[in-house]
Amino acid sequence: MPYSTNYDVLIIGSGGAGLSLALKLAEHSTRVAVLSKLALTSGSTYYAQGGISAVFDAEDSIESHIEDTLDAGAGLCNPEIVRLTVTHGKSSIDWLRQQGVLFTEEQTLAGETKLHLNREGGHSHRRIVHTNDATGKAVSLSLIERAKEHANIQLFEYHNAVDLITAPDSAASAKRVIGAYVLDTQTHQVKTISARVVVLATGGANKVYLYSTNPQSSTGDGIALAWRAGCRVSNMEFMQFHPTCLYHPQARSFLISEAVRGEGGKLILPDGSSFMENFDPRGELAPRDIVARAIDHEIKKRGIDCVYLDISHKSEQFIREHFPTIYQRCLEFDIDITKQPIPVVPAAHYTCGGVLTDSHARTDIANLYAIGEVACTGLHGANRMASNSLLECLVFANRASEDILRKLPAIPSPPHIPDWDESQVSDSDEEVVVSHNWDELRHFMWDYVGIVRTDKRLNRAMNRVQLLKKEIAEYYSNFRVTSDLLELRNLVIVAELIIRCAQQRKESRGLHYTLDYPETDNSKTPRNTVLSP
């Protein structure tokens, strides 16, 4: 497709959700633009290790998958959304296989070939479809290849959305989205891209924390874009901390898949003793929030740097076949996981809340959709169950495509949009302000709004956020935008939303744990936290 600035659909984000939607729309002659803030392989999907949950085992059932998801979500899942998502698990996997994704298989005793299924925390059965321990990479590369081949899809790498553009919507007496201002980070020019429909597929916001398993791009861009445009957000207090991130001074953001524990890996202290049985009868297979808090408790109680995850009791062949990526990565740091335990710590991993959407991925603004981690669909509730996230991406990409294709013929072309005006700003000569504020934000979010919280810590964090917001707003109004500045501007908004939601929840539930209210309040119907701009 030749370069244009006007499309039927603009998709902001190039991970599993965004590319799946682009492919489904393009099959119906829809002109689609896909923005990728960095390279197409830079998003969270590419780095996902575990897999995709779906019912394939004869001993498993849709009802069991639903029950496990509801249990992990601690009373805040939307049961209708859970059922909708789970029932489309098998068809989602089938669609990925049609796109060329090769999943790990095994031979049955009868000599037949079937999908190999892992088991992960919170799941009562083996139902994790995977490609060894690099499922996201396999999914991402296949979708990218298909998207590059399609004439109706235009891919824009190194393009960072600055803000959504809206216009009055007479039909709804409100407003509708008509495009976005986008920074080309290679030419440093801000472009105007108009579209009849805009979809946010930007992923999560876990880089708001000092330690994260996510790539550098996970800066909450879509949540901040939607909030500034006028959308509600929900459940931002529920930030999932993955229990096992590799602890090494030279290792950055490397996740040790939950599948290691699913295949028998044991969490141990430096003296070799296990501890998870003291926190939950499910031990290493307890939901992530329980395991992360247990590790955090042991680290703080004993004054140690990390705990260890030991899979070395399995055979070398088994480990190298099942976890080749983890094996090779750890070996780079002189850790042979076939003989040694892996040093691990918890790290921010997944944003369970986000932009509030309905069952078709629609937001509060006409023609604006949100899919994947950026959205709060009601699937995850207070805690995401392992490997439900890629499934959510696929299911809601399909739901959004159906709704967009149905509505698109009646959506008018966008009106004229004025070009980006930077006549009143100059180039910054104080980039240190951005880097300093970025570091300060991530440090106090980790210290005050992390795995364990208190009212006092939240109040301290809010005071710091308000000061940073003013400083960043002043900086933004005086200098030309850069990608670092855009990310910082978005992160400080996301940080404030997380804190505000956490301050409203006067109980401990799911991923939100506070020492001031350590018990779950079961005296009333559980509520989701919703914030309006």
H helix intervals, 423-482 = 431-448, 455-478
Residue type, 236: M
Report yes or no: 217 and 43 within 8 Å, Cβ to Cβ: yes
**Count of helix runs (H) and strand runs (E) in the chain:** 15, 20
Q: How many Å separate Cα 158 from the centre of its chain? A: 20
Q: Is residue 68 classed as helix, strand or coil in its secondary structure? A: helix
- What are the strands, taking DSSP E only, across 185-222? 189-200
Phi, psi of 225 (to 5 degrees): -60, -45
342-351 sheet: strands from edge to edge? 239-246, 342-351, 307-310, 266-268
26-46 in b/e form (b: 16+ CB < 10 A) is: beeebbbbbbbbbebbbbbbb
DSSP symbol at 76 = -
Q: Which residues of 393-412 are buried (b: 16+ CB within 10 A; e: fewer)?
A: bbbbbbbbbebbbeebeebe
Residue pair 123/129 in contact (Cβ under 8 Å)? The answer is no
Give, in order, the Cα–Cα distances in Å from 393 to each of 14, 120, 121, 231. 12, 19, 20, 20
Q: Taken in order 136, 138, 141, 142, is the CA torsion positive or negative?
A: negative
250's tokens: 């030279």
For residue 428, give Cα distances in angstroms to 431, 479, 489. 6, 6, 15
Instruction: Please tell me which residue in 288, 329, 399, 464 is annotated as part of the active site.
Output: 288
Please say whether the beta carbons of 113 and 105 come within 8 A: yes
Q: 50 φ, ψ to 5°?
A: -60, -70
Instruction: Give the C-alpha separation, 244 to 54, whole Å.
Output: 23
- Close Cβ partners of 525 (under 8 Å, ≥ 6 residues apart): none
Q: Is 97 a catalytic residue?
A: no
CA gap 218, 186 in Å, rounded: 20
What residues pair up with 532 in beta bridges, in sequence order? none
Active-site residues, by number, are 288
